[in-house]
Amino acid sequence: MEDFLEKFSDCLQKEAPFCATECPFRYDVLDFIDKMRKGLFNAAFRLYRNATGFPHIAAGLCRAPCEGVCPMGGAGGAISLRLLERACLDFAKDKRAAGYNLPAKGKRVAILGAGPSGMACALRLSAKKYGVEVFEGSGRMGGRLWDFMEPEIFLGDFREQLRNEEYALRLDSPVRGRDELDGMGFDAVYVATGAGGAGFGLLDAGAGGAGSLVYGGVGWFAGGALVGSGGARALSDGLAAATAIDSYLKTGNLPGPRVDAATRMILEPSRLVQAPAVVPENGLSFSEGEARREADRCLKCRCDACRIYCDLTEFTDKWPLRIRDEIVATTLPGASEVKATPAKRLMSASNLAGICKEVCPAGIDLEGLILAGRQSMHRQGKAPWAFHDFWIRDMEFSNGDGAALCMPPPGRDSCAYAFFPGCQLGAGDPLLVERAYGALLRARPDTGLLIRCCGAPAGWAGDVHRHGEAVAGIQAEWERLGRPTLIAACPSCMLELGRYAPQLPLRSLYETLHEWGAAARLEAAGPVGEGPYAVFDPCAARHDAGAKSAVRALAEGAGCALRPLAGQERVTRCCGYGGQPGVASPEYASFVARKRAGESGLPYIAYCVNCRDAFVKEGKECVHILELLFGDGGGMARPATASERRRNRSDLRRGLLDRLWGVSVRQEGPDDPGGLDIRMGEGLLARMDEDRILEDEVRSVVEFCQRTGRRTYDGEKGTFSGYRKIGHMSYWVEYRLAGAEGAIEALNAYSHRMEIELEAVWNGVRTQPDL
């Protein structure tokens, strides 16, 4: 995990927006804008006052450098932050100065110069309850403000903001040398004597260019026009100097020079939309409504590509830095009973589609960290098996004797090619696998067949060992076939095998069908429903340009008019199935599928059967490309249930062996060793599919309860209830005897993770019954 965590140091989430880094006060512009947008003028005023010290002076001095860097400058006009700041002054009803009830600090500071910089420093330090004396060489306060601002504005601002503070102002009191302050008991001095004023050695090379030094045990600091800062910058210098002096008086350490670093923030280009600037009707200032509309134009710039494109961050409303912290807390060694595991469900909900790394300017791989977290949990024996148990058992079934198949072409011992449909296509529609293989055989008779699961469910669960076994099983069968080139139908299989078994030669089924002309030899089923269509590229095919191009060529060859799915073609995202979040967070899986389905009103063509099924479940018209080529033209297929998927795999294996190789395989009936006639209604079957409870599991529970008598009877309802533990899960079924024929009707079924321990008493001895 350390490699993934290291990259988070480059995260740009907390980088300031462009406008804030140009503003000398570096205040929270986004919060200010948000308050103005909502019409919270009092709150906006307080934020602005706290940032600038003297809000009316700051607004008068502002030359709007932020407007030169605002991204909206090329999309309707830069946000007029200067007019918004003035609007908050106009419309705030409560402009009372802040007051702080703090104990006196016991240390004294001299401020040389009563211009905007000196008075800003005096305001901050007196608010912190230092003893402050301001020495002004002239007979009035304000400095250069008299040259370009009405005195009632700045004098009124001084008076109001210093209303609650105690300080001494000494007019006509120039200080020409350090010795003049000797014996006055000052602990620090701020020199703001203006352009060309006395610098007291602070501007010399000996001060290191930092504008501060210690002389005779007193800290000396410089700022404002004396050091070349003009306008609002001089005001902000005074505020910054107060912070530096406060730190010096507490620690005895001089600060380094003030450095206003540029922002590293990168704006996601899709955020930029045209919005005309709001022009004040009176030509001078915003009305309340105009101010709110102008604030609403703001993009609220921040580096948020992860929030825009990563579905998990949007669904959980969490930024990657917080997710990182939760993953670290969750994966720390220690029993989950005694430590927090805030990311246990979140980690199992991720699609692991790699989208964050694709869009993050810093290259942070959030999904890589999540997968590493799953692997860590598995190594520690803390993995939430309930979230992945169904998928692991499904993988094991796919690689077992009842579903897996490895055969050279009919009449041959080895092959140059082998069709690798994966486990999901045949589970969803076995006819598509059979017909696609037939097309390949006709084009190249030296094409064998290898049906197994690529191991993705184990990999996604963080079970490295079991995943390795699945990949090794494929490698062994590949060797047995004579090391052919594998023709993969599933983009996830292509990705998994390319990553974990790079020695296996791979090519996409869709490129192969197109290049071999295999699809052209058939009369395509053609479009299903009205067109045009949009091709939905699965996340696993994000970088597979050949497969993308071939699918579009095949679709057009089948008579489909295509339109681009602009968002998906620019940034290829998951349909919601990847990473198998359906148990850990079915709400999240549905959320993602609905988002992708809503990106276009056109029907979709998919070439991942999981994408097709995810969309169809959400009511989106979607067909698999192989349905267009080899289907019956019967319209959009209903996704197979979990139980049907198991039967489909077995039927596919048995049918292929029988029809192509003349091998007869006995068809096994359902798991009914007691010969019971167990019936399940459509409503129950639908609920079972949602909960991923298989029909065979229900039959197993009922048979067990009937055989052992371990069941309860509800006389009012006339039903029996009982459970049986299968693997890690406990399955419960409520059922009743349905007539003289001996049929049993299952009424309800559910499962949970709890293990029930029973004790039986035999001749006074407590025992655990062997169930």
In angstroms and rounded to an integer, the radius of gyration of the C-alpha atoms of the chain is: 37
**What are the distances in angstroms from CA 586 to CA 43, 80, 572, 590, 630?**
41, 45, 22, 6, 32
What average pLDDT is seen over the chain? 92
DSSP 419-468: EE-TTHHHHH-HHHHHHHHHHHHHH-TTEEEEE---SHHHHHHT-HHHHH
Residue 300's nearest CA partner among 71, 21, 51, 48 is 71
CA dihedral 560, 566, 569, 575 (to 10 degrees): -80
pLDDT of residue 528: 57
Instruction: Read off the pLDDT of each residue in 629-639 and give the average, rounded to a whole number.
Output: 74
> What backbone torsions phi and psi does residue 416 show, to the nearest 5 degrees?
-85, -30
Q: What are the residue ranges spanned by the domains of the chain?
A: 18-95+264-275+283-297, 108-251, 305-384, 398-522+639-668, 525-637, 673-766
Confidence of residue 742 (pLDDT cuts 50, 70, 90): confident
pLDDT digits (tens, 9 = 90+) for 447-487: 999 999 999 999 999 999 999 999 999 999 999 999 999 99
pLDDT of residue 668: 56
Residue 338 has pLDDT above 70, yes or no: no
Yes or no: domain 108-251 corresponds to CATH 3.40.50.720: yes
Instruction: Read off the pLDDT of each residue in 632-651 and give the average, rounded to a whole number.
Output: 85
Among 12-26, 328-342, 405-419, 731-745, which is the least confidently predicted range?
A: 328-342
What is the number of other CB atoms lying within 10 angstroms of the CB of residue 330? Answer: 21
pLDDT of residue 7: 94
CATH class of segment(s) 673-766: alpha beta
pLDDT of residue 758: 59
Confidence of residue 719 (pLDDT cuts 50, 70, 90): very high
> What backbone torsions phi and psi does residue 170 show, to the nearest 5 degrees?
-110, 100
Confidence of residue 232 (pLDDT cuts 50, 70, 90): very high
pLDDT of residue 204: 78
> What backbone torsions phi and psi does residue 68 show, to the nearest 5 degrees?
-75, -15
CB crowding 708-733: b at 16 or more within 10 Å, else e: eeebeeeeeeebbbbbbebeebbbbb
Confidence of residue 209 (pLDDT cuts 50, 70, 90): very low
pLDDT of residue 110: 98
Sheet containing strand 212-215, edge to edge, reads 168-170, 131-135, 108-112, 188-191, 218-222, 212-215
**What are the distances in angstroms from CA 456 to CA 395, 434, 466, 691?**
9, 23, 10, 21
For the chain, what percent of residues have pLDDT higher than 70?
A: 93
User: How many helices (H) and strands (E) would you count in the chain?
Assistant: 32, 21
**What are the distances in angstroms from CA 307 to CA 8, 268, 406, 612, 705?**
15, 10, 44, 25, 50
CB crowding 478-495: b at 16 or more within 10 Å, else e: beebebbbbbbbbbbbbb
pLDDT of residue 564: 94
Residue 740 has pLDDT above 90, yes or no: no
How far apart, in whole angstroms, are the C-alpha atoms of residue 596 and residue 90? 46
pLDDT of residue 208: 43
CA angle 701, 704, 705 (to 5 degrees): 85
CB 409 within 8 A of CB 462: no
Confidence of residue 771 (pLDDT cuts 50, 70, 90): very low
pLDDT of residue 527: 57
CA dihedral 283, 287, 291, 292 (to 10 degrees): -140
Residue 623 host element (H or E): strand 622-624
Q: For the whole model, what pTM was predicted?
A: 0.87
pLDDT of residue 767: 42
pLDDT of residue 610: 96
**What are the distances in angstroms from CA 479 to CA 137, 494, 497, 507?**
94, 18, 15, 17
pLDDT of residue 518: 78
CA dihedral 603, 605, 611, 616 (to 10 degrees): 40
How far apart, in whole angstroms, are the C-alpha atoms of residue 285 and residue 149? 18
Instruction: Read off the pLDDT of each residue in 196-222 and give the average, rounded to a whole number.
Output: 81
pLDDT of residue 531: 74
Residue 84's nearest CA partner among 293, 254, 318, 244 is 293
pLDDT digits (tens, 9 = 90+) for 532-548: 999 999 999 999 999 99
